[in-house]
Amino acid sequence: MCGIAGYLELPRARGGGGETRIRAMTDTLIHRGPDDGDVWLDGETGIALGARRLAIIDLSRAGRQPMVSSCGNFVLAYNGEIYNARELRGELEAAGKTFRGYSDTEVIVEGCALWGVEETAKRIIGMFAFALWDRRAKRLFLVRDRLGIKPLYWTRANGVLIFGSELKALRAHKDFQARIDRNSVAAYLRHNFIPAPHTIYANVHKLEPGKILVVDGSGEPRIESFWSLEEVAREGM
- Are the C-beta atoms of 168 and 103 separated by less than 8 Å? no
- Taking each helix axis from N to C end, the angle separating 85-94 and 104-115, rounded to the nearest 10 degrees, works out to 50
Size (the chain), residues: 237
Q: What is the pTM of this model?
A: 0.93
pLDDT at 140: 98
Domain ranges of the chain: 3-175+207-236, 179-204
Cα dist. 118→72, 104, 142, 163, 226 in Å? 19, 17, 11, 19, 6
pLDDT at 15: 61
| The one catalytic residue among 1, 2, 17, 141 | 2
d(CA 68, CA 109): 7
Provide the 10 A C-beta neighbour count for residue 44: 9
Phi, psi of 67 (to 5 degrees): -110, 135
- Give how far the C-alpha of residue 111 lies from the chain's centroid of Cα atoms, to the nearest Å: 15
pLDDT mean values, one per 10 residues, the chain (237 residues): 91 70 96 87 94 73 87 97 97 95 95 98 98 98 98 96 98 95 96 95 98 89 93 75
Comparing CA positions, the residue from 120, 166, 144, 160 lying closest to residue 213 is 144
> Beta partners for 91?
none
112 is catalytic: no
pLDDT at 61: 73
- Identify the CATH number of the domain defined by range 3-175+207-236: 3.60.20.10
pLDDT at 13: 56
